[in-house]
Amino acid sequence: MVKSYLRYEPATAFGVIASVESNIIYDTSGKYLLAPALEKVGVWHVRQGICAKNLTPSTQSRGPNIAVTSIAAVPSSSCLVASGHADGSIRIWDCERGTCETTLNGHKGATTVLRFNKTGSLLASGSKDNDIVLWDVIGEVGLFRLRGHRDQVTDLAFLDSGKKLVSASKDKFLRVWDLDTQHCTQIIGGHHSEIWSIDVDPGQRYLVTGSADSELRFYTIKHEISDGHSVSKTGQTVTDGKNSLDGNKWESLKLFGEINRQSKDRVATLRFSKSGNLLACQVAGKTVEIYRVLDEAESKRKAKRRVNRKKEKKSSKLVDATENENADHELNDDTQLIMVTVPDVFKLLQTLRANKKVCSISFSPITSKSSLATLALSLNNNLLEIYSIDSNSSTKTSTIELQGHRSDVRSVTLSSDSTLLMSTSHNSVKIWNPSTGSCLRTIDSGYGLCSLFVPGNKYAFIGTKSGNLEIIDVRSGVSVEVVKAHTSSVQSIVHTPDGGGFVTGSTDHDVKFWEYQTTQDAGQDSVHLTVSNVRTLPMNDDVIVVAVSPDGKHIAVALLDCTVKVYYMDTLKFFLTLYGHKLPVLCMDISSDGDLVVTGSADKNLKIWGLDFGDCHKSIFAHADSVTAVKFVRNTHYMFSVGKDRLVKYWDADKFELLLTLEGHHAEVWCVSISHRGDFLVTGSHDRSIRRWDRTEEPFFLEEEKEKRLEEMFEADLDNSLENRYLPQQEIPDEGAVAVAGKKTQETLTATDSIIEALDIAAEELKRIAENEEEKRRGKGAEFKSNIIMLGLSPSAYILRAVSKVHTNDLEQTLLALPFVDALKLLSYLKDWSSNLDKVELVCRIATVLLQLHHNQLIATTSSRPLLALLRDILHARVKECKDTLGFNLAAMDHLKQLMASKSDAPFHDAKTKLLEIRSQQSKRVEVRADTKSEKRRKKKQKKDDGHVWS
């Protein structure tokens, strides 16, 4: 009989607050902060400091977890959030419900940037494949791909109410794209190195770019207005004069000037605050520079003061009366044209310094009355900090840190009843509930390399890098005592089978045996645990790992010289040596029955040994990098190994076969711990996550798993297939090019197969129907029984069902793979489907795509012409019907809006426009007052000067 095994599957991951690959962003309410947590997006309640929910991809696909590389939220009041991933996919989430609405596939490289337009109807994505894709969020479909950059796209910004798009790239250029014509209208150089970030202020006056250069570059934005003229919102001069409106009519951006930065590190992120009064420049270091953005009236006043000061200095130096008079004339001329420069608008307010490297920043959309803005920072040590920005200083208001370690998780240990989990890191010990992933205790400690729970789970021991043993009281969450155990780092700590003590191994060449004791502090009633060293086994090299057989008969010690020495436990006499590994053994375990020893080494191999004679049963090339931990499942010969190749592997040590490969970690896996019953295991990693893997009731067979692994290897090679590998690379013109938004995936190929299959089944069914009718005419026909596969549907409805199942975004690529014969069959069904008003859009899309693809063949095929003529008339009529219905509904909505507006004091749809009008009128009044005051002062001064000259 073929043996079956029970499958292990990923259950939960915890311990990650903010990973370093992606940006953080506030939601529109300002209550929640969205932070990347490897493959998930954590939604953190800022005030309470708790994770309200996780946006987690569905576990339907058992493939590797793909890290989040960018996050974007809709600027308007909406709960939609987009996350870009390392495989180029984009997921649209409903943040309130925590569900994934759709997945968009278009990029071949990791998604580097996502930006919504103001209304949230369009999403622009940039990637490491150098392309930009525009997505219709409502229709869940890719509109087009913009190609032109020679290196990865680093940032994007919408201009002119979403009509234009600015893209920045590592190729040192900015490109301005007109989204209506789908063309690149302007290419801007200037930076001497890669452009890393750009942003546009909320008033769409300025665009700022940052690179590894020492300066920030600012551009003024030219806007198109309804009559075809252009207008700039910057107001560079007091009078209209000749400003940025002159020049090429296609130019949307004109250089305004530069500002030198304080830091020498490259710019990582540039972001304007929601109100537009602040600009934050985050560099690839520990600092964030905050600039104050002055409004139009203030900047003009500042420019005037600067010009006046300059002229006063000049005039004070002039002694001769005639020269003084000439200076007055110059002053009169220059006040008419005062140029506003970059320092008049942008002023360095302060520099915010964090304790660790800053990964990302985000301004809160809600500003408190006591501060200018609220800024959130994600640091590279798994931490979120919230700062309140004032005019003089910035104060840290809150920190989210308790739910995760600041660095690698070096050891994980489960209590004897598997209800508690202890993890150690470079400066703290955390105790978790492994079933929920909640952090119960955080205790400061040394650099913990190994740990264990004392029987009874009231105390725990930590072996540190400095050679200490730290005794932790689990209930109170305090460090009770620190014992100087070794002169060098404690590498391994393991129970003795009798439960009366434990053994430690250290790089000071000693293996020490310890016993538990109780002690009472002077003047206190409480009794606490301590330990005493009872025996020491000196070795001739650094001890890396120690293992004790469950029967207490042998102790195995792995040394730095790549050997494992086995001793008798009672007498400490030498028994045998296990030779064979080419690099040091990093991990080791002995099975529950004491028959097998498994060793994992830095040479990437697992070796299974018999403990009775020390013979090597099997050497397995197990991982693509060093094997860091290995553990037997209790009372079995099954074992788990983890390595620096990020994988967890499940083995049968009797058959020497790989059973399962568990993918999930995003960096080296350091440690593993298996529950007493073997129903789950826990792993800790360099990515700071702790993951739990549960045993399910689903059985699997070894041969099936081998076949599945081969299929996955074949599918992974799909993108690098022969037809694509040797194609000449298409050269992109300098002005850019437009291409299809989607990409070929396994889903699109499966969808094509299902449509072809449906067409074949329908053709067969139509043939059977025709034969049955012929027999009925002859009087021999029995009752017709339809094909059970068609589920009682007609052939046309069955094909429509297959086509409707295809995801909107994959439709184009699915039809692209259809042969011409099947495409012709599909076109013949469009007439029937067009009578269904709900499917008119789908029918039009199919007709358009197939006509574009097979245009030449369709024209050349005589039989297809009547069909095309028929479709032309029918589809035109159907589209007109839909258009009329939509027009009628929109007119009704407008009428309702007018009725509601007439009942209120101010029409609500005009409220924002009116507010902006009032503000602009006020700023003009202030400006006029300032002008008249300066004019009066000038005339007064002139009179005084005139009197002086005549006297």
Return the structure tokens found at 340. Answer: 């506003």
What is the pLDDT averaged over residues 381-387?
91
Distance of alpha carbon 627 from alpha carbon 610, whole angstroms:
20
Q: What is the pLDDT of residues 389-436, one digit of tens each?
A: 988 888 889 898 888 999 999 999 999 999 999 999 998 999 999 999
- Say what the pLDDT of residue 912 is: 60
Q: What are phi and psi of 178, to 5 degrees?
A: -90, 115
Residue 288 one-letter amino acid: V
Is residue 875's pLDDT more than 90? no
Q: What DSSP character marks residue 541? A: S
Count of beta carbons in the 10 Å neighbourhood of residue 285: 16
Q: CA distances (Å), 884 to each of 348, 625, 871, 874, in order?
A: 56, 65, 20, 16
* pLDDT at site 950: 40
Quote the pLDDT of residue 948. Answer: 45
Question: Strand, helix or coil at 65?
Answer: coil
Reduced to 3 states (helix: H, G, I; strand: E, B; else coil), residue 162 is: helix
* Residue matched to tokens 């890396």: 544
Q: What does the pLDDT average to over 539-568?
A: 93
3-class secondary structure per residue, 817-831: CCCHHHHHHHHHHHH
Partnered with residue 681 across adjacent β-strands are: 674, 693
- Region of 484 please: left (phi>0), alpha (psi -120 to 50) or beta: beta
Q: Is the pLDDT of residue 643 over 90?
A: yes
What integer is the mean pLDDT of 657-675? 93
3-state class of 347 per DSSP? strand
- The answer to whether 404 and 412 have CB atoms below 8 angstroms apart is no
Burial 94-117 (b: 16+ CB within 10 A, else e): ebeeeeeebbbbbbebbbbbbbbb
Average pLDDT over residues 600-624: 92
| Start-end of H helices in 681-745 | 702-716, 722-725
With 0-12 / 13-18 / 19 or more C-beta atoms within 10 angstroms meaning exposed / middle / buried, residue 19 is: buried
DSSP 277: S
Residue 852 predicted with pLDDT over 90: no
Q: Give residues with Cβ within 8 angstroms of 362, minimum separation 6.
A: 23, 24, 25, 26, 33, 271, 375, 376
Task: Estimate the crossing angle of helix 746-778 against helix 820-833, to 10 degrees.
Answer: 70
d(CA 92, CA 84): 9
Q: Which helix (H) or strand (E) holds 717?
A: none
Asked if residue 567 lies in contact with residue 573, where contact means CB atoms within 8 angstroms, the answer is yes
Contact, 512 vs 535, CB < 8 A?
yes
| Average pLDDT of the residues of the chain | 85
Bridge partners, 384 (sequence order): 378, 400
SS (H, E, C) 851-897: HHHCHHHHHHCHHHHHHHHHHHHHHHHHHHHHHHHHHHHHHHHHHHH
Between β-strands 80-85 and 616-621, what pairing exists: parallel, antiparallel or unpaired? unpaired
Mean pLDDT computed over 710-733? 62
CA distances in angstroms from 836 to 672, 723, 877, listed in the order given: 58, 40, 13
State the pLDDT at residue 222. 85
Per DSSP, what are the bridge partners of residue 187? Answer: 175
For 90, the token pair is 């984009």
Instruction: Kindly report which listed range (15-24, 432-441, 895-904) carries the lowest average pLDDT score.
Output: 895-904
What is the rounded CA–CA span in Å between residue 330 and residue 149? Answer: 48
Cβ(20)–Cβ(380) below 8 Å: yes
Residue 548, by phi and psi: left (phi above 0), alpha (psi -120 to 50) or beta? beta
Please name the amino acid found at residue 487.
T
Cβ contacts of residue 2 below 8 Å, gap of 6+?
701, 702, 703
Q: How confident is the model at residue 538 (pLDDT cuts 50, 70, 90)?
A: very high
Across 204-208, 434-438, 851-855, least confident range: 851-855
Secondary structure of 363-374 in HEC code, one letter for each residue: ECCCCCCCCCEE
Is residue 547 scored above 60 in pLDDT? yes
Identify whether the C-beta of residue 625 lies closer than 8 Å to the C-beta of residue 645. yes
User: For the ranges 104-108, 860-864, 886-890, which has the lowest average pLDDT?
Assistant: 860-864
Mean pLDDT for the stretch of residues 877-897:
88
Rounded distance between C-alpha atoms, residue 64 and residue 66, angstroms: 6
719 falls in which pLDDT band (50, 70, 90)?
Answer: low
Residue 236 has pLDDT above 50, yes or no: no
Task: Report the alpha-carbon distance of residue 751 to residue 805 in Å, rounded.
Answer: 8
Listed residue (30, 107, 62) closest to 662, CA to CA: 62
Burial classification of residue 91, based on how many CB atoms lie within 10 Å of its CB (0-12 exposed, 13-18 middle, 19 or more buried): buried
Mean pLDDT value of segment 123-152:
91
Kindly state the tokens that stand for 380. 């590279």
Confidence of residue 723 (pLDDT cuts 50, 70, 90): very low
Q: What is the pLDDT of residue 62?
A: 43
Instruction: Enter the tokens of residue 72.
Output: 């974007």
| CB atoms near residue 269 (< 10 Å) | 21
Quickly tell me which residue has 């339907």 as its tokens.
Answer: 60
Q: Where are the domains of the chain?
A: 407-519+528-538, 746-882
241 pLDDT above the threshold of 80: no
Q: Contact at 8 Å (CB) between 30 and 47?
A: no
Q: Which of 155-164, 231-240, 730-739 has the lowest mean pLDDT?
A: 231-240
Q: Tell me the C-alpha distance between 591 and 556, whole Å.
A: 13
Paired sense of beta strands 153-159 and 585-590, if any: unpaired
* In the chain, % of residues over pLDDT 70: 90
Q: What is the distance between the terminal CA atoms of the chain, rounded to a whole angstrom?
A: 124
Cα–Cα dist 404/411, whole Å: 14
Q: What is the predicted pLDDT for the residue at 727?
A: 43
pLDDT digits (tens, 9 = 90+) for 245-300: 445 677 888 999 999 988 888 999 999 998 888 999 999 989 999 999 988 888 88
Q: What does the pLDDT average to over 788-803? A: 86
Least confident of 72-76, 299-303, 337-341: 337-341
pLDDT value of position 825: 87
With beta carbons less than 8 A apart as the criterion, state whether 256 and 206 touch: yes
Determine the residue type at 169: S
What is d(CA 774, CA 464) in angstroms, rounded to the nearest whole number? Answer: 88
Cβ atoms of 479 and 471 within 8 Å: the answer is yes
Task: Specify whether the CB–CB gap between 15 and 689 falls below 8 A.
Answer: yes
Dihedral angle over CA of 561, 566, 570, 572, nearest 10: -40
The alpha carbon of 45 is separated from its chain's Cα centroid by a whole number of angstroms, namely 19
| Residue with token string 């955390």 | 430
Highest mean pLDDT among 255-264, 542-551, 734-743, 794-803: 542-551
Name every residue whose Cβ is closer than 8 Å to that of residue 824 and which is 6 or more positions away in sequence. Answer: 854, 858, 861, 864
Please count the CA atoms within 13 angstroms of the CA of 454 that sit on its side-chain side: 22
Work out the pLDDT band at 368, boundaries 50, 70, 90: confident
Question: What pLDDT does residue 300 have?
Answer: 85
Residue 378, amino acid: S
8-state DSSP, 839: G
Kindly tell me the number of DSSP H helices and DSSP E strands found in the chain. 13, 58
CATH 3.30.565.10 fits 407-519+528-538, yes or no: no
Tell me whether strands 657-663 and 647-652 are parallel, antiparallel or unpaired. antiparallel
The CA distance from 322 to 328, in Å, is 10
pLDDT, average across residues 739-749? 81
CA atoms within 13 A on the CB side of 758: 27
pLDDT at 765 over 50: yes
